[in-house]
């Protein structure tokens, strides 16, 4: 079988187009689709999940928590100094202050947008997760164009 087009994201997702079939190989699954059963093909980015992760990793939320820990540590240290009985609480207060400073300086990892290769079939649709980075975004778009050009022959 002659391969018309192929896309590989180098992380386990590979899709190959021949003149009458599409072969999809993803981590843990391999499927073959006849072109006559494919109504359309496209890409889908899970923007809703990405926005939720972006909101969860908001640096303002972490800074508020870090400031609260620093204030709590300062109050413990201050209470220990005022008590003047023993320095037992001083160490705990300093640990809280240091932990708050460290937490304030930790950078959250940026969220990753999940991208899916989607095949619209006669009986529904199938989505396959893949890694769409700047390097391979053009390659997957060219592959989609090749598939669409092939599908027009069946319409």
CATH of the domain at 17: 2.30.29.30
| Amino acid 48: pLDDT | 92
Number of helices followed by number of strands (H, E) in the chain: 4, 7
Residue 139 neighbours by CB under 8 Å, 6+ apart: 7
- Domain limits for position 34: 3-45+114-154
More confident residue, 64 or 17: 17
Q: What angle do CA 98, 101, 104 make, to 5 degrees?
A: 150
Query: Sorting pLDDT into bands at 50, 70 and 90, what band is 154?
Result: very low
Q: What angle do CA 124, 126, 129 make, to 5 degrees?
A: 160
Q: Is residue 51 part of a domain?
A: no
Shared domain for 73 and 38, answered yes or no, is: no
| Amino acid 13: pLDDT | 85
Coil/strand/helix, residue 151: helix
More confident residue, 14 or 65: 14
How many domains in the chain?
A: 2
pTM over 0.85: no
Shared domain for 31 and 63, answered yes or no, is: no
């Amino acid at each position: 079988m002659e391969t018309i087009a192929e896309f590989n994201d180098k992380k386990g997702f590979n899709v190959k187009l021949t003149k009458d079939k599409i072969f999809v190989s993803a981590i843990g699954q391999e499927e073959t689709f006849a072109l006559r059963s494919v109504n359309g093909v496209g890409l889908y980015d899970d923007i809703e999940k990405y926005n939720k992760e972006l909101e969860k990793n908001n640096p303002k939320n972490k800074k508020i928590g870090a400031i609260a820990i620093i204030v709590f540590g300062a109050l413990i240290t201050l209470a220990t100094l005022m008590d003047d009985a023993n320095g037992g609480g001083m160490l705990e207060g300093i640990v809280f202050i240091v932990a708050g400073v460290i937490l304030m300086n930790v950078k959250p990892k940026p969220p990753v947008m999940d991208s899916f290769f989607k095949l619209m079939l006669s009986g529904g649709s199938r989505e396959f997760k893949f890694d769409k980075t700047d390097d391979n975004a053009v390659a997957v778009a060219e592959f989609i164009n090749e598939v669409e050009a092939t599908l027009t022959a069946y319409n």
